[in-house]
Structure 1
């Protein structure tokens, strides 16, 4: 089955990423979650170059893994920098420990992808107190994450490169208003509680879809924490309860893929002609998500380009460590264009050209 093939592709990608992370080639990096390694970088000779660390939230998160690989590629364009990549593996304590380790290793700048904004904010503050500039990315850390206030400004002393999670969800929510059938039963898959992107995408679905379609029933809703396996397990249980699900609303493509896997062989959801008897919406515009759209199993998603995020992060990191820009002047966002059946081929072409997928993967 195509989606099972995609699962294997994702696993292979994660394994490859882990192998790259443990090697000394390319950018300097450490094994996921192992902050003790710090190898030399082809993007810096390790002899006086400025040291930058990217702390990702989890290598098993398809978007975080994609962003990590793009950061490594982009770092090759900055010979004055040595980039190290580590992963908190979706564990707040582990990620916080990695942030503390950045102080010990005296990095010149740290780029943080929080797993839980409020949990990481105090440790971002520790970095700032140690005199280390911090850029938060995917998601932004806000002042409210640190002090519990209502202040939604970027956390004092930091910079950010991000995407707007409201816009990311809005593009699909608005079309869902028109295409989800009357009196539909929908299920909702959420990212981690406390994660800025997860929370805001969910808020957007309430504002732009649920509030406009009071006839729709939210049959089930739960946290799958960006994880396809967790989403698959939830969807299996929901389907077994017996009520037909008309639409899957997912806060990212990876969870949508897991939910779709759970019903791929179910004739109640896939017709004899192979066409889906359900709608499904995601966010991120990953290669996996685009392939699912091409196959007719994912209705739409919004691109969150890891390549664009990486380019901006490394460009600003270089300027900050060279003293050309204050970190607090870094406040930039990437766009969130909708991807659907009408335009998916142009995005698949990009993924083929950059080597993430091959022509044979496209059905």
Structure 2
């Protein structure tokens, strides 16, 4: 009987031990399972919320364009002050279809906002529409066009004012009379259209001034030089060369200087680039109009960041033009130093 009781006691003790071990195992595994679940949830939450960084896609038309390189520098200098902002720069190489593909890539990457300097002012409308459909803010910089209000914002200068300021100064230098040769930038660009329009509005106000030659140098120094060489060979009397930008104006100066005719012709440009300012200081380029490339780049990026954060932004952010002549050129040289 005692033997049976002893066996019964051992069996009860064994059973209790197994039960306790089982309960202990459940208690040790439950928190572990809970911990894994919490870690996974935390990871999902962090991924959804992001790490606090803002990513901006910057679509530029041509990295080799001198003036646009200053605009990009303005963006980069401002970006350097913002540790939580990443900017992805892409070069369309003046190819509108390539720029469209780049915008589509930005959208698929789900960037927080896009800054675009359009290759042209027609294809950009489709790009803006795609960004809007994806609910990604898109800021157009420098090249304005009809319908730009569909973008989140526009940052730039009013091109027609550059043409007006430029030609008004040329008219003063010519005493309101003379033959004008106009060098156009790339045809169809908003700046080409509006700067030339401003030129012609001023010319129309002076009966003794007229346009005798007009052609495109496509914003390029070498092409501006070649165009000027052709004009010189035509034998047409030219009193002023009025260029849509400084690079073509410098090309014209080089051709005129080689022909020994620079002293007889007023040359005017737009942008007030560092190279152009040296020509102004030397008395070879009589007029240029300062277009704040760095200011436009900074303004475009700053506006895009605000939009990415959900802050209200101005629909139009205007960066004013400023007339530059030999009298005030030193002030503008200092701006680039």
| Category of TM-score, reference length = shorter chain | 0.7 to 0.9
Alpha-carbon RMSD: 1.9
Whole-Å separation in 1 of the counterparts to 2:106 and 2:218: 26
Alignment of 1:187-266 (within 5 A): 187-208=181-202, 210-266=203-259
Q: Equivalent residue for 2:12?
A: none
Structure 1 residue 105 and structure 2 residue 109: aligned?
yes
In the alignment, is the contact (CA less than 8 A) between 1:60 and 1:227 conserved in 2? Answer: no
**Per-residue deviation, 1:221:** 0.8
Q: Pick the aligned partner of 1:178 from 172, 175, 180.
A: 172
- How many angstroms does 1:278 deviate by? 0.9
**Which residue is 1:162 aligned to?**
156
SS in 2 for 1:155: helix
Cα drift, residue 53 of structure 1: 1.5
Counterpart for residue 315 of structure 1: 302
User: 3-state DSSP class of the match of 2:59?
Assistant: strand
Greater share of helix? 2
Query: Is 2:186–2:192's contact at 8 Å kept on the other side of the alignment?
Result: yes
User: How does the TM-score come out when normalised to structure 2?
Assistant: 0.80
Indicate if the aligned counterparts of 1:187 and 1:218 stay in contact, CA closer than 8 A. Answer: yes
Is 1:59 the counterpart of 2:63? The answer is yes
* CA deviation vs aligned residue, 1:61-98 (integer Å, no higher than 9, x gap): 21111111221111112222101112222222222222
Determine the C-alpha separation between the residues in 2 that align with 1:121 and 1:157: 9
Moved over 3 A (4+): none
Contact 1:185 1:217 in 2 (8 A): yes
Cα 1:142–1:217 change in 2 (3 A) is closer
Q: Is 2:138 aligned against 1:134?
A: yes
Q: Deviations over 1:6-59 (max 9, x none)?
A: xxxxxxxxxxxxxxxxxxxxxxxxxxxxxxxxxxxxxxxx96521102111212
Partner residue, 1:123: 127
The CA distance in 2 between the partners of 1:261 and 1:100, in whole Å, is 42
**1:291 maps to what in 2?**
278
Deviation of residue 157 (structure 1)? 4.1
Q: Which shows bigger deviation, 192-201 or 247-256?
A: 192-201
The size of the alignment, in residue pairs, is: 288
How many angstroms does 1:167 deviate by? 1.5
Quote the residue 2:290 is aligned against. Answer: 303
Deviates more, 1:185-194 or 1:297-306: 185-194
Partner SS for 2:115: strand
Instruction: State whether residues 245 and 278 of structure 1, in contact with CA within 8 Å, keep that contact through their aligned partners in structure 2.
Output: yes
1:341 aligns with 2:295: no
Paired residues of 2:55 and 2:113 also in contact (CA < 8 A): yes
Residues 157 and 112 from structure 1, CA distance in 2 versus in 1: closer, same or farther, beyond 3 angstroms? closer
Tell me which structure has the larger Cα radius of gyration: 2
Q: 5+ unaligned residues in a row in structure 2: which ranges? A: 1-49
Q: Deviations over 1:220-256 (max 9, x none)?
A: 2112221222211111111112234221111111111
Provide the rounded CA distance (Å) in 1 between the counterparts of 2:176 and 2:166: 17
CA contact (8 A) 2:149 2:315 kept: no
